[in-house]
């Protein structure tokens, strides 16, 4: 008996600007996925002093707790405070908006929560747009 194929819970979204990064969460985040995002962001910080970040949350089923104790996560969070200009959280569980409002004064970066229906506004706020496919004839 074979097990069903597992799709990644975290994927990077293409953007039109190279200083704007975006990811989508759909499911349970593994330590490897989170560390891959930190690696992507570290590479971005080498190219840009400041970036903007959008995180779209469709379905959130938690994350691997051992990630909190990893060196990668610790360093990644410290670097994020220095290099992220604006961070837009789009969608997510019901507590996400309240947590964002409560925690945003603790960050140097600007942080805002947007409902899924307001995703276009979130993209505009971080100075970016998702990359669109060219029209097909």
What pLDDT, on the 0 to 100 scale, is given for residue 72?
67
Helix boundaries (H) for 48-118: 71-83, 95-103
Q: Look up the CATH architecture of domain 10-125.
A: 2-Layer Sandwich (3.30)
**Cβ–Cβ < 8 Å for 52, 127:** yes
pTM above 0.85, yes or no: no
Residue-wise over 21-36: b if at least 16 C-beta within 10 A, else e?
A: bbbbbbbebbbebbbb
For the segment 20-67, what is each residue's pLDDT rounded down to a tens digit? 999 999 998 888 888 898 899 999 999 999 999 999 998 887 777 776
């Amino acid at each position: 008996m074979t097990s069903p194929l597992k799709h990644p819970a975290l994927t990077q979204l293409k953007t039109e600007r190279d200083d704007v990064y975006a990811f989508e969460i759909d499911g349970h985040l593994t330590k490897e996925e989170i560390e891959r995002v930190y690696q992507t962001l570290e590479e971005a910080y080498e190219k840009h002093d400041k970036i903007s970040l959008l995180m779209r949350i469709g379905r959130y089923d938690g994350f691997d707790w051992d990630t909190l104790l990893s060196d990668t996560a610790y360093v990644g969070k410290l670097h994020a405070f220095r290099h992220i200009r604006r961070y837009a959280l789009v969608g997510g569980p019901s507590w996400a908006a309240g947590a964002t409002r409560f925690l945003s004064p603790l960050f140097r970066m600007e942080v805002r929560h947007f409902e899924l229906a307001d995703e276009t506004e979130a993209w505009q706020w971080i100075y970016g747009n998702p990359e669109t496919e060219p029209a097909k004839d």
